[in-house]
Amino acid sequence: MAAALVVENLSVRFTQRRVSVEAVRDVSLDVERGECLALVGESGSGKTQLFQAAMGLLPENASTRGRAMFDGVDLIGAEDAALNRVRGAKIAMIFQDPMTALTPQLRIGTQLAEVLVQHAGSSWRDAWAAAGRMLERMLIDEPQRRLRQYPHELSGGMRQRVVIGMGLMCGPSLLIADEPTASLDVTVQVQIMELLRTSRRELGMALILISHDLGVVAGSADRIAVMYAGRIVESGAAGEVLRRPLHPYTAELIRCIPHLKGPLPRRMATLTGQPPRPQEVHAACAFAPRCVRAEARCRAERPQLKAHDAGFAACHFPLQP
Amino acid sequence: MQDATARFFANRIAVAALAVALGIVLLSIVGPWFNPNRPDTLDWLHVAARPGTPNAHWFGTDRLGRDLFVRTLEGTRVSLAVGLLASTVSVLIGVGYGAIAGYIGGRTDLIMMRIIEILSGLPLIFFVIFVTVIVGRSVYVLFACIGAVAWLTMARIVRGQTLSIRQQEFVEAAVACGATPSRIILRHVVPNLLGTVVVYATLSVPQIILLESFLSFLGLGIQVPSASLGSLVADGAGELQAAPWILLVPGSFLAVLLLCLNLCGDGLRDALDVREG
């Protein structure tokens, strides 16, 4: 399969008052067409910055190295005009908090239609009709009435459907969903994930799910990549990663997913220790201080991402051969 | 929005002030129809006449025998027109300038804000005298001078607001949807500024009226035979001992109008819950 987005050796560095922080460190990653890739990591692991860099959304104090190839165009360092032809049209992005992702003063219909007017040059009348059809596809009841409403009149789940619909207006070939369910109820979470799954099937688009919650993405992802301290520490087919994790960090994350079956644990499983501060430079394995399997070599030499039977992992002592 | 309207109308002082202000506006428009005197006719039989004297000089006459009632209303109209027009212009320039500076940020913002600082450093009176000496006195010069000053504060306030709006997720979402900066400023940033802008514009109308009156009082503003509240007050100031009403009539119109407009603006600010700029 051809790749939809290829990220090569991407690094993102933020500089503020002479303090420099490397949020993303030399990450290479690719997403196949129509594939669902889940990018998992703790807060501060750089998973959001990675794709914000590709979309040109980083603030001014960020500097980016590396490449992000999409349709033969390098998105890193591309002109705004070139980025705007891609953003919203071919790559759409949806954000964590649907409460703030819609402009409060504009009607739902206007915000949906605007995307189509901008990219496809359609008339407002056509775009408005398309917006109505989109709300219907997003399983929002009374779409015609909703079009005329303002964001504050909708519930959180409904707004996230609108935000997803807004992303899908131009039929993008890649949708980046940054924690799409983090601020929603668990029941609504399930519906939104289901909606993302069906939309992806219908449009045949690639989907990148960014999440800190392995449990949320487990059911949807074809492939999982795990990030820790700005680097990818493991990637592989979803089933393999979940059943037979290679990296101790992934294993710990899986251990922390609460289970409904079986006896109730006396304590919730947690990871001990803190993630490293982003301004630290790692000559060794960044996970070593928290790792139960860490040995002298882990504290001396940084492991490279290497191929194993089940996938890729950056660990000196992987859990599987 | 409905909440804000309800909050405004629950504020009795603001509502009363609004009623009085609207009353003065209405009176300044329709009042002269009910009085036979014209603002520029001289009644030599009644020079500096007391209020209530014959020939329907309800508010008396000035020392040239001109009817004070119609002249004051005409002056009110001129002052209001200058205030409204100049604050409209200052809103348009200020919002555009401030939103662009705040949204684009970086070096553009730096240069644009330094320009504002230089302009606000100009001493207004010297500036006005300087310009009138060069171009000659006219309403347009007065207008340009007021306009050059009035938008500065607006631009500063709008820039500050834009800086915080720019950080919000819906702006990022709009960028991620491929919206151009001009579209984002016009459709996503400016609508969010409206509360602040409306409040500040309401408060800037009385400020501009006061500024205009002040300049007219010094003889730098509206010129005879036209009159504004400021020039009428200036006329009356010379006759304070002999005929105090020539000062008091336009003076009280000015004071009441300014008070009411300020109270309306305050009420609006409380209703829209905008922090003081």
Would residue B98 count as lying in a domain?
yes
Q: Which domain holds residue B202?
A: 2-272
Residues of B near A (Cβ–Cβ under 8 Å) read: 105-106, 168-170, 172-181, 183, 187-188, 191-192, 194
- Give A208-263 pLDDT, tens digit per residue: 999 888 888 888 889 999 999 889 999 999 888 888 889 999 988 888 877 777 77
Query: Please, are residues A61 and A148 in contact by the beta-carbon 8 Å criterion?
Result: no
Q: Is A105 on the interface with B (CB under 8 A)?
A: yes
Give A186 to chain B, closest Cα distance, Å. Answer: 23
With a CB cutoff of 8 Å and minimum separation 6, the contacts of A13 are: A20, A21, A22, A23, A62, A63, A64, A65
Is A166–B177 a contact, with Cβ atoms under 8 angstroms apart? Answer: yes
> Strand, helix or coil at A194?
helix
Name the one residue in this structure whose structure tokens are 């509502």.
B15
State the Cα–Cα distance between residues A254 and A227, nearest whole angstrom. 14
Query: Please, are residues A119 and B178 in contact by the beta-carbon 8 Å criterion?
Result: yes
Q: Residues of B with CB below 8 A from A88's CB?
A: 176-179
pLDDT of residue B276: 42
- Give A98-112 pLDDT, tens digit per residue: 888 888 888 899 999
pLDDT of residue B240: 78
pLDDT of residue A98: 80
Q: What burial letters (b/e) apply to B9-33, b meaning 16+ CB within 10 Å?
A: eebeebeebbebbeebbebbeebbe
Reported in sequence order, the residue ranges of B52-149 that DSSP labels E, i.e. its strands, are none
Count CB pairs under 8 A between chains A and B.
74
Would residue B19 count as lying in a domain?
yes
Q: Is A57 on the interface with B (CB under 8 A)?
A: yes
Is B170–A100 a contact, with Cβ atoms under 8 angstroms apart? Answer: yes
A226: closest CA among A287, A279, A273? A287
Is A105–B191 a contact, with Cβ atoms under 8 angstroms apart? Answer: yes
With a CB cutoff of 8 Å and minimum separation 6, the contacts of B83 are: B205, B206, B208, B209, B212
For residue B191, the chain A residue with the least C-alpha distance is A105
Q: Which DSSP string do the residues of B179-233 spell out, in sequence order?
A: --HHHIIIIIIHHHHHHHHHHHHHHHHHHHHHHHHHHHHTTSSS-TTS--HHHHH
Q: Residues of B with CB below 8 A from A89's CB?
A: 178
- Give B108-151 pLDDT, tens digit per residue: 999 999 999 988 888 878 887 888 888 877 777 777 788 778 88
Is A118–B183 a contact, with Cβ atoms under 8 angstroms apart? Answer: yes
Q: Check whether A144 has a pLDDT greater than 70.
A: yes
Would residue B277 count as lying in a domain?
no
Cross-chain CB nearest to B173 (options A80, A86, A95): A95
User: Percentage of residues in chain A with pLDDT exceeding 70?
Assistant: 99
Give B8 to chain A, closest Cα distance, Å. Answer: 20
Query: In chain B, how many domains are there?
Result: 1
Q: What burial letters (b/e) apply to A26-65, b meaning 16+ CB within 10 Å?
A: ebebebbebbbbbbbbbebbbbbbbbbbbbbbbeeebebe
Give A93 to chain B, closest Cα distance, Å. Answer: 6
Mean pLDDT, contiguous 10-residue spans, chain B (277 residues): 77 89 87 74 72 71 77 86 86 91 89 90 81 79 79 91 88 86 88 85 86 82 77 80 80 89 87 58
Q: Residues of B with CB below 8 A from A83's CB?
A: 178
Q: Residues of B with CB below 8 A from A86's CB?
A: 178
Look up the CATH number of the domain holding residue B132: 1.10.3720.10
For residue A165, the chain B residue with the least C-alpha distance is B177
Would residue B12 count as lying in a domain?
yes
Give A63 to chain B, closest Cα distance, Å. Answer: 15
Reported in sequence order, the residue ranges of chain A that DSSP labels E, i.e. its strands, are 3-16, 19-32, 36-41, 62-70, 73-74, 91-94, 174-178, 206-211, 223-228, 231-237, 306-307, 311-313
> Strand, helix or coil at A235?
strand
Mutant choice from B162, B169, B177 vs A, greatest count of A C-beta within 10 A: B177
Would residue B62 count as lying in a domain?
yes
For residue A112, the chain B residue with the least C-alpha distance is B177
Bridge partner list, A94? A177
Query: Please, are residues A143 and A132 in contact by the beta-carbon 8 Å criterion?
Result: yes
Sign of the alpha-carbon dihedral angle for B142, B147, B148, B149:
positive
Give B213 to chain A, closest Cα distance, Å. Answer: 38
Cross-chain CB nearest to B176 (options A88, A105, A118): A88
For residue A93, the chain B residue with the least C-alpha distance is B176
Would residue B188 count as lying in a domain?
yes
- Give A159-179 pLDDT, tens digit per residue: 888 998 898 888 889 999 988
For residue A169, the chain B residue with the least C-alpha distance is B177
Give B274 to chain A, closest Cα distance, Å. Answer: 17
Would residue B214 count as lying in a domain?
yes
Q: Is A60 on the interface with B (CB under 8 A)?
A: yes
Q: Residues of A with CB below 8 A from B179's CB?
A: 84, 88, 114, 118
Is A106–B191 a contact, with Cβ atoms under 8 angstroms apart? Answer: yes
Q: What burial letters (b/e) apply to B217-243, b meaning 16+ CB within 10 Å?
A: beebbbeeeebbbbbbbbbbeeeeeeb
- Give A268-294 pLDDT, tens digit per residue: 777 777 888 777 777 888 888 888 888
Question: Looking at residues A18-30, what average pLDDT do you find?
Answer: 87
Cross-chain CB nearest to B172 (options A57, A60, A167): A57
